[in-house]
Amino acid sequence: MRRPTVASLAALALAATAGACGNGADDGPKASWDGAPAVAPHPEIPTDHIATGRIRNDGAGELRLSVTEARALDVHGTPVRATIRFAAGVTHSLYPPRDAPHENPRRQQERLGDAATIEPGKSAPLTIAWHAGTADRVPVRVDLGPVEVPLPPAP
Amino acid sequence: MRTSYALLAALVALALLPAIASGHAERATYFVDPAKGSRPEMRNTGPQRVVCKRDSRALIKQSWKGRGPVARRHRKRLTKLLRRCRYRHIQQAVDAARSGDRILIMPGLYKEEPSRKIPVKDPKCAGDEYWEPSGDNHTEDGRVPTYKHQVDCPNARNLIAVIGDSLLDDDRECDHKCNLQMQGMGRRARDVTIQGDRIKQDVIRADRADRFVLHNVLVEQGGYNNIDVVETNGFSLTKIVTRWAKNYGILTFTSDNGLYDTVETYGSGDSGVYPGSGPEGHCKRYGIEVTRVNSYGNTIGSSGTAGNGTWYHDNRFHDNAAGVALDSFAPGHPGMPQDCSKWTDNDIYSNNVNVFESDRDQYCNEVPFDKRRPEVVCPQFIAVVGAGFMWYGANQNIIQGNRIYDNWRSGMRLFWVPAQLRGEQDPSKQSDTSNGNRIIGNSFGIAPDGSPAPNGVDVTWDEQGLGNCWQENRTANGGPPTSDPASLPTCDSGGSHSPVSNPVKTAAEAPCVEWNPRTNPDPPGCSWFTTPPKPGS
């Protein structure tokens, strides 16, 4: 009984710290593109665009990111349908999606690009793809949960 | 001290993580020692065990009807052999067999009813010693069956099991039921049909069953694989028809000294044939030969994660969604990253069948495999519709003298797979694919009659890798293959020399990982699941 209580308290403390960081404190989570991302029309789908590069953890703590929390947002802050991956290329899941577990372990999520854990000063790949729509339906930033990064305009 | 135990336990668990063969959870497997084995030949000698059905005699007469001397001779020979029939089920003959026996299977439909009655979760093998961790939360509560499970409960997950290694030693080598030959006695492979129950994973499993021979049978409707050969040193699969498996028509894994010859394979949800975790010949030898395979109507004609050391020649891979895949995608495959296979004189054409369309998705989502119409292919994994060769993370392969045509997206695709995507974090290994591939003397976009049959683009490449080269390839108009990028490095020049790719090209493939037929069948930024227009249309 004693150990879970201690663990729970620690988890609560961590969550509280993370929440505080997310509110814009100076030592809170920060990220930026590590070099300029490449932004271009999709090579095989003329109506889609791709942005790809690496995001760097500029904060003091570990960044734990998941695509389930990630959204591409237009200039009004409205989500735009997009694919967001913490990956530079393609792979596939261990199991056929129809037979897959409802939850993947974190290790598998990170392999597939569903999630990324980035230590301070380190970087991870980030790829975003979206259908090129009308001008105000184009994503201008990516909200990754605790951090966000801008999306340069497509050429 | 407690921390040390925890660390030790974690390390042990990691070391025991099993191979996950493109989604089929397999125990931790190891390469056999090729020097200790050899490829078996078909034998006409050796003790016989004859298996038959009540209607075998009628089927023999039907198959060999007529008054000609050939038909009469065969009828007489087989009818005489039929008198020696002692088994009604193939597994019964396997159980009775000793090393070197021949199991002669008379014409008929074999459903293996006694095996079907054994539950998949056989209570005999419920104990912890029958399971090892799968490294995730899938399969049987995060576990996969051990080799001991195959020994003690051979028919829990396999309709027919040939299990060769004794548990009395730990050498992982065949001790009994080695050099076993299972042979259909029909005129055609289809005369002996071995039908899966669509639930058990394998219809036929040969596990550490060195020098295993399977000849002249049709195998169908496996709950995962129709034919599965694991950790087997020496195998021969000849004159086989295999169809309608949930995933793989024939799968071989960490096996060596093998032959696939004269195989017709169609209608499977992943690949017609899959020589995965292939022989580690390191470009000095090809331990598995694949020839005279006619693979069509599958999601992929042939694939092989870590499909190493295999020589494919004189095969046809056509009318699948994608023709041939080689990859270094998934972790847990011994022999990663993929390397050193050879493709010569194959026909890879018309791979444009879209199995990812919404009507099919709906049916496949709503109807479980065991209730589906057998002939409906439900794609199990992603594939590039309209691609001949799809190589993602492939090294030091040779493609020479093949005919690659009428694949509406790409004749071949060659892409980098950063090592991280197979779970390898070592920074020094991130560019260890795709390098050293030589594509020489093939024809692109030319039908067998010499007329143009263009691919969408002959070569689509993300411009990454060291030593990739294209030379002396022919096209219908006499020019170089069409390609993206516009020009390709020659072999005489030393080939490509960029360890990094064109990032947009590589990244443009990434969205396809999101494919989920239930929740996201058409991810933004993924081109793979749309049928490309026919070139010139």
**Could you state, in chain order, the average pLDDT of each consecutive group of 10 residues for chain B (537 residues)?**
42 41 72 97 97 98 94 96 98 98 98 98 96 69 89 98 96 97 98 98 98 98 97 98 98 97 98 96 96 98 95 98 92 89 98 97 96 97 97 96 98 95 89 95 97 98 97 96 98 96 96 94 96 93
Kindly give, in sequence order, each residue whose CB lies less than 8 Å from that of residue B488, ignoring residues fewer than 6 positions away.
B459, B461, B469, B470, B480, B481
- For A26-150, CATH number? 2.60.40
**Partner-chain residue, chosen from A83, A91, A97, that has the shortest CB–CB distance to B421:** A91
Residue B136 touches chain A, beta carbons under 8 Å: yes
Buried b or exposed e, range A51-62, using 16+ CB within 10 angstroms: bbbbbbbbbebe
Query: Would the CB atoms of B508 and A43 count as touching at under 8 Å?
Result: yes
Q: Which residues of B touch A90 (CB under 8 A)?
A: 329, 382, 392, 415, 417, 421, 509-510, 512-513
| Chain A, nearest residue to B368 by Cα | A98
When pLDDT is cut at 50, 70 and 90, the band that residue A133 belongs to is: confident
Q: What is the pLDDT of residue B22?
A: 47
Please, are residues B377 and B269 in contact by the beta-carbon 8 Å criterion? yes
Residue B381 touches chain A, beta carbons under 8 Å: yes
Q: Long-range contact list for A119-123, CB < 8 A, 24+ apart? A: A119/A57, A119/A62, A120/A57, A120/A58, A120/A59, A120/A60, A120/A61, A120/A62, A121/A56, A121/A57, A121/A58, A122/A56, A122/A57, A123/A34, A123/A54, A123/A55, A123/A56, A123/A57
Neighbour-count burial of B425, counting CB atoms closer than 10 A to its CB (0-12 exposed, 13-18 middle, 19+ buried): exposed
Domain definitions of chain A by residue range: 26-150
Residue B38 touches chain A, beta carbons under 8 Å: no
Residue A48 touches chain B, beta carbons under 8 Å: yes
When pLDDT is cut at 50, 70 and 90, the band that residue A23 belongs to is: very low
Q: What is the pLDDT of residue B24?
A: 58
Determine if the peptide bond prior to B521 is cis (ω within 30°): no
Neighbour-count burial of B122, counting CB atoms closer than 10 A to its CB (0-12 exposed, 13-18 middle, 19+ buried): middle
Q: What is the pLDDT of residue B438?
A: 98
- Chain B 11-30, CB below 8 Å of chain A: which residues? 20, 22-23, 25
Residue B416 touches chain A, beta carbons under 8 Å: yes
| Higher pLDDT among residues A95 and B241, named by residue | B241
How many Cβ pairs within 8 Å bridge chains A and B?
156
DSSP sequence for A48-60: EEEEEEEEEE-SS
Instruction: Give the mutation candidate from B421, B422, B432, B464 for the A interface (greatest A CB count, under 10 A).
Output: B421
* β partners of residue B401: none
pTM value is 0.92
Output the CA torsion sign for A40, A43, A47, A51. negative
The CA angle B31-B255-B341, to the nearest 5 degrees, is: 95
Cα–chain center distance at B103: 24
Q: Residue A126 to residues A48, A93, B289, B387, B498: CA-CA distances in angstroms?
A: 17, 18, 40, 26, 21
**Partner-chain residue, chosen from A38, A97, A131, that has the shortest CB–CB distance to B504:** A38
Q: Name the percent of chain B in helix, strand, coil, to the closest 5.
A: 20, 30, 50
**Partner-chain residue, chosen from A43, A91, A113, that has the shortest CB–CB distance to B504:** A43
| Chain A, nearest residue to B22 by Cα | A94
Measure the CA–CA gap between B307 and B336, rounded to whole angstroms. Answer: 9
Measure the CA–CA gap between B92 and B87, rounded to whole angstroms. Answer: 6
Match 């002939």 to its residue by tokens.
Answer: B375
When pLDDT is cut at 50, 70 and 90, the band that residue A104 belongs to is: confident
Give how far B210 is from chain A: nearest CA, Å: 28
Query: Would the CB atoms of B508 and A42 count as touching at under 8 Å?
Result: yes
Write down the ipTM of this complex.
0.89
**For A17, phi and psi rounded to 5 degrees?**
-60, -45
Residue A45 touches chain B, beta carbons under 8 Å: yes
**Partner-chain residue, chosen from A94, A96, A113, that has the shortest CB–CB distance to B136:** A94
Task: State whether residue B244 is helix, strand or coil.
Answer: coil
Query: Would the CB atoms of A131 and B524 count as touching at under 8 Å?
Result: yes
Q: What is the pLDDT of residue B5?
A: 45
| Chain A, nearest residue to B138 by Cα | A101
Query: Would the CB atoms of A129 and B511 count as touching at under 8 Å?
Result: yes
Q: What is the pLDDT of residue A7?
A: 35
- Chain B 465-524, CB below 8 Å of chain A: which residues? 484, 501, 503-518, 523-524
Query: Would the CB atoms of A83 and B20 count as touching at under 8 Å?
Result: no
Q: Which residues of B touch A45 (CB under 8 A)?
A: 525, 527
Please, are residues B119 and B157 in contact by the beta-carbon 8 Å criterion? no
Query: Would the CB atoms of B517 and A48 count as touching at under 8 Å?
Result: no
* Mean pLDDT, chain A, integer: 83
**Partner-chain residue, chosen from B20, B505, B515, that has the shortest CB–CB distance to A97:** B515
Kindly give, in sequence order, each residue whose CB lies less than 8 Å from that of residue B346, ignoring residues fewer than 6 positions away.
B312, B313, B314, B315, B316, B317, B402, B403
Q: Where in A6-95 does DSSP place strands (E)?
A: 31-33, 38-41, 48-57, 63-66, 71-73, 79-80, 82-85
Give how far B518 is from chain A: nearest CA, Å: 7
Domain definitions of chain B by residue range: 30-167+182-259
Q: What is the pLDDT of residue A95?
A: 83
| Chain A, nearest residue to B528 by Cα | A44
Q: What is the pLDDT of residue A27?
A: 74
Please, are residues B220 and B195 in contact by the beta-carbon 8 Å criterion? yes
